Structure 1
Amino acid sequence: MFLRIAAPVLAGCLLGASSLRAQNELGNFSTAARGGVATTFVTDFQAIGVNPANLGRQDNARVAFTIAEFGVGVGSQSLTRTQLRKFIENSDETLTLAQKQEMARAFTSDNVLNLNADATPIAFSVVLPLVGSFAVSSRQRVTTHLGLNKNTAELLWLGKDAPIYPANFNPATAPLISEVLDGTSVQLAAYNEYNIAYGRQVLRLPSFSLSVGAGYRYVQGVGVVDVRASGGKLEAYSALSPQFNVDYGSVASNPSFNLRQDADKLIQPVGRGHGYDLGVAAEVGKKLRLGASVTDIGTMRWEGNLLTANDQRLKRLRSSGANSYEFLSELENIFASGTDSLFQYTPAQERNASLPTKLRLGAGLRVGTRLEVGADVTMPLNEVAGNLPNAFYGVALDVKPVSWIRLSTGLTTGAGYGLGLPVGFAIATKIYELGIGTRDLRGLLSDNKPYASVAVGTLRFKFGTAR
């Protein structure tokens, strides 16, 4: 399933972390440098997907655009950096029973792995006098989350020898999958987006101004996997583009299966949707900024290569679990539609799912022309593949030791990660900007709860001011 494409992405991230020796908006290097704190900081096209009301601020450039910004991040709250490196450097090593039991314990966590990748090929914004500000962009994003309970972790690493199977195991009286996997989530979401946003100042007083904004995005669904068991309920479905190279076997000949298999196309969506953003921003005096927004309101309709599974009784696996650090193929074996899967997948015509809706609240304070401080809270408003697993909290600051250099840092927590220390550097003149940032320097350097991330942009330009 999705692991055939997730594997090289994960490998690239982990190798990147090794070379450095060490979900929010990783495609924006300045936001990544603040750890994701963005609600009151972003201007121009950066406001897309964060707070479109910021397009109405007076400090926006009259024209601004960027080309080829990107970012990637991978982290774990239960694995060590040493363990993560083994998945790359020692992936073929045959494991002993003791090593497999050790890995099962390490994988028992609601945050075994979180991976995000964002890319912004192009973004553009313009201020039109008396009309307001418009911004457009294209964006690609991939989000993966893996959380396993004890049973699932043991099934992954021990297979048929997992403790969930007693000596007298009887499939007819076995517990339901929803009970066995309770607390497990295996999720992937890959989207291609086309965005447009509008913002305008609607009130301007001597010591107070108010802006409002709205955004729309057309979303192409490249792939989704959502397997979750919680509170006695099971949700399991997938829809993956031909680019994922899934072998559907006999399912492909089922007349109820809406097969899409032209892998030669650059992008062949298997779903589509419409998303909306709403925001408000205020400036109190010349120093205090406030902002609030709700983003990704809307739904996706998945209809190509769609498979779903219902709850059923646990069956005994035939495999003995992952025998090496290359666990992804075994994870696929358990959750995919193969002969040794825990699930019996059936074709479906369509499935509607909400976009990963979030509420953002932020406050910022400008101290002179060289220092700006901000604080953000971002809360997921639904539980779907691609959304934050829990609330994000952060504080950040920008310092300009000279007018054309910006240093960024802060403290963040939540969103599936531990305490983060973001840092970033940018050369920011009135016309040109380039920079690099990481969402957590501490995660790059620590062996426990590692998190490696980097966001880069080299072609950001601004011309004129809206004042």
Structure 2
Amino acid sequence: MRSLLLTLAITLSGFLSISQTQGISYTAVGRGVATSFVTDYHTLGINSSALGWGNEYGKNTTMGTTEFNLGFYSDSLNADKLKSLYRTIRNDIREENQNPDDWQQQQQNARDYLESGIAIDASCNWLGMAYYNKKLGGIAFNIGEHYNWYSQLGQQASSLIFEGRLSNYFDQLTVVFGTDTTMIQNNGNISQDTLDAVIEGTATVPLQLSELTNGSRIKFTWNRHYNIGYGRKILGDDSTFAIYGGIGGRFIQSMAMMDVQSDENGIRAYSAFSPSYNLNYGSVASLNPSNFTGGGAIPKPVGTGYGLDFSASARIGGFLTLSAAVNNIGSVTYTRNVYTVNDTLVTTFNLTGLEDANVTNSVENLLEEGGLFTLEGQESYKVTNAANFRLGGHLDLWKIVKLGIDVVAPFDRDHPGSLANAVYSFGGEVRPIKWLSLSAGYFGGGIYAHNIPVGINFILGGGTYEFGISSRDALTFFLDGSNSISAAFGFARVRF
């Protein structure tokens, strides 16, 4: 797998953002609020009742593609590390001379990210379409990709991931020179040539896996959603009081899932990865009833499921909108490459440590043959979706200013892909001229501290075409203590 941080830096030059509370809506990212603001296919997974009032441009049909979001958050991230990361990767891409210690520093930064906690959220809209009719209401569909990673490792687990078989947890090292195999003491005074010849680390006083990983947590999902939603007015008149209702659903294909929790009660872990990850499970794969090796240009799913959305909105006096929604109620059942983990003594380790700053490559050191985990195949595993509850509202003032609030809370934060805690936000947009929308806001909660989202959107031809860019946290570019990198981009949205 390609270095995530390299991909991150390359993508930052074009289009990025965090997606857990605004979905694929790049316009909502810049406001920080979404529930009562979104329209057309952007409502899917947020507030499908908003399909019932169409859009403000009087267009019946909206189509869109090329919308991307990607975000990165860690308590260890700051402006200096971000600048260092950008400079190092820029020089590497340009093949310019650079300090050979730069990548080693990035690896140390990545280790800091893992120990303090790191969240990566991304989404992509491959295709979206919505149709509105005043009499029938609105219907929308879209195909989207969603990637959510959160990990926090204890110090010993982090050492094993980054140092591999050379970790100081192992007091003996097996070294091979030609046909000569020797076991030496791992005393810290070993030449680089000898370290390069190490094939295995051995602990003569081994600990249980749960002891080594105590305090560690990994939650990861990579899902493809096929969404559909419908919304309409139930009763009333917008100028006085009107009630809207909406329902939505999705078919979910999951390409990867990992759920690890290690604490004083032991370790609990399940995983399922598409063959496109090229994980070498070794001999345990042949004993796994869900073993799957099918390949292809497009990653094959290892699980399928569904999610249901329910929402309602009230529009009052032509200037106030209130909305509430429950989204993604359902589950995904994994039936391919499903593994659980046995809490065994960790005596030997064969793999090298991470060779780059890609923290998500820790999956290989955990799951592959000779790695940290002792796996056992499973026939299937069912995961409840990362469902959420939303409550929001906004004021429409003088037709040029909108101000709103949002609260988004998880049903169960322990489910893979869930928010860590409730996220609260307020924000809005102003249109100084009819073809320009400027947005800003504030949000906190979840795993985030204090973020200031900003965005700019261009609306051409009376709403016929629009594009824009936004960031979930403008503070990243101005304050040394900011903890996130984010941006969102939408290029091809048309209405007719």
**Considering the TM-score relative to the shorter chain, is it more than 0.5?**
yes
Structure 1: how far apart are the matches of 2:108 and 2:134?
A: 63
Range with bigger deviation, 56-65 or 434-443: 56-65
SS at the partner of 1:33?
A: helix
1:374-393 deviations in Å (ceiling 9; x for gaps): 11111111222222222212
Residue 47 (structure 1) aligned with residue 43 (structure 2)? yes
Structure 1: how far apart are the matches of 2:110 and 2:11?
A: 25
Counterpart residue number, 1:30: 27
Counterpart residue number, 1:189: 221
Structure 2: how far apart are the matches of 1:329 and 1:439?
A: 22
| Native 8 Å contact 1:171 1:313 kept in 2 | no
Residue identity matched to 2:82: R
| Native 8 Å contact 2:151 2:218 kept in 1 | yes
Structure 1: how far apart are the matches of 2:84 and 2:160?
A: 19
Range with bigger deviation, 130-139 or 152-161: 152-161
1:112-148 deviations in Å (ceiling 9; x for gaps): x222221112111112343321111111111222212
Q: CA deviation at 1:319?
A: 6.5
Shift in alpha-carbon separation, 1:329–1:313, aligned structure 2, 3 A = same
Structure 1: how far apart are the matches of 2:120 and 2:351?
A: 27
Residue identity matched to 1:259: F
Q: CA deviation at 1:416?
A: 2.6
1:270-291 deviations in Å (ceiling 9; x for gaps): 1100111111111122222111
SS at the partner of 1:456?
A: strand
Q: CA deviation at 1:173?
A: 8.0
Counterpart residue number, 1:454: 487
Structure 2: how far apart are the matches of 1:95 and 1:329?
A: 22
Q: CA deviation at 1:179?
A: 4.2
Q: CA deviation at 1:77?
A: 1.7
**How many residues are aligned here?**
450
Counterpart residue number, 1:300: 332
Structure 1: how far apart are the matches of 2:217 and 2:404?
A: 33
Matches within 5 A, 1:55-204: 55-57=51-53, 59=55, 61-79=59-77, 80-81=81-82, 84-85=85-86, 88=89, 106-107=112-113, 109-111=115-117, 113-158=118-163, 176-204=208-236
Counterpart residue number, 2:188: none
Shift in alpha-carbon separation, 1:18–1:84, aligned structure 2, 3 A = farther
Q: CA deviation at 1:261?
A: 2.3
Q: CA deviation at 1:81?
A: 2.0
SS at the partner of 1:119?
A: strand
SS at the partner of 2:31?
A: coil
**TM-score, structure 1 length as denominator?**
0.85
Range with bigger deviation, 444-453 or 45-54: 444-453
Structure 2: how far apart are the matches of 1:101 and 1:58?
A: 49
Counterpart residue number, 1:354: 384
Question: Which of 329, 338, 341 is 1:309 aligned to?
Answer: 341
Q: CA deviation at 1:176?
A: 3.9
| Native 8 Å contact 2:351 2:365 kept in 1 | no
1:368-418 deviations in Å (ceiling 9; x for gaps): 111001111111112222222222121111010111110011112233333
Question: Which of 399, 408, 423 is 2:439 aligned to?
Answer: 408
Q: CA deviation at 1:243?
A: 2.0
**Any gaps of 5 or more consecutive residues in structure 1?**
none
Structure 2: how far apart are the matches of 1:108 and 1:242?
A: 25
Residue identity matched to 1:45: Y
Question: Which of 286, 289, 292 is 2:321 aligned to?
Answer: 289
Q: CA deviation at 1:260?
A: 2.9
SS at the partner of 1:243?
A: helix
**Greater C-alpha radius of gyration:** 2
Task: Give the superposed CA RMSD.
Answer: 3.3
Structure 2: how far apart are the matches of 1:187 and 1:224?
A: 8
Structure 2: how far apart are the matches of 1:272 and 1:370?
A: 44
SS at the partner of 1:31?
A: helix
| Native 8 Å contact 1:110 1:184 kept in 2 | no
Q: CA deviation at 1:47?
A: 0.7
SS at the partner of 1:201?
A: strand
Shift in alpha-carbon separation, 1:460–1:58, aligned structure 2, 3 A = closer
1:417-441 deviations in Å (ceiling 9; x for gaps): 3321211111123322111111111
| Native 8 Å contact 2:327 2:387 kept in 1 | yes
1:130-178 deviations in Å (ceiling 9; x for gaps): 33211111111112222123332333345567677799xx979865433
Residue 369 (structure 1) aligned with residue 399 (structure 2)? yes
| Native 8 Å contact 2:171 2:203 kept in 1 | no
SS at the partner of 1:11?
A: helix
**TM-score, structure 2 length as denominator?**
0.80
Counterpart residue number, 1:396: 427
Shift in alpha-carbon separation, 1:233–1:445, aligned structure 2, 3 A = farther
Question: Which of 398, 408, 417 is 2:448 aligned to?
Answer: 417
Structure 2: how far apart are the matches of 1:221 and 1:102?
A: 31
SS at the partner of 1:334?
A: helix
Shift in alpha-carbon separation, 1:359–1:19, aligned structure 2, 3 A = closer
1:28-55 deviations in Å (ceiling 9; x for gaps): 22012223x2001101221111011111
Q: CA deviation at 1:251?
A: 3.1
Question: Which of 426, 434, 459 is 2:467 aligned to?
Answer: 434
Residue identity matched to 1:187: K
| Native 8 Å contact 2:5 2:357 kept in 1 | no
Q: CA deviation at 1:94?
A: 8.0
Counterpart residue number, 1:379: 409
Counterpart residue number, 2:277: 244
Percent of aligned pairs with the same residue? 27
Structure 2: how far apart are the matches of 1:115 and 1:16?
A: 14
SS at the partner of 2:3?
A: helix
Question: Which of 204, 226, 229 is 2:259 aligned to?
Answer: 226
Range with bigger deviation, 121-130 or 329-338: 329-338
| Native 8 Å contact 2:272 2:336 kept in 1 | yes
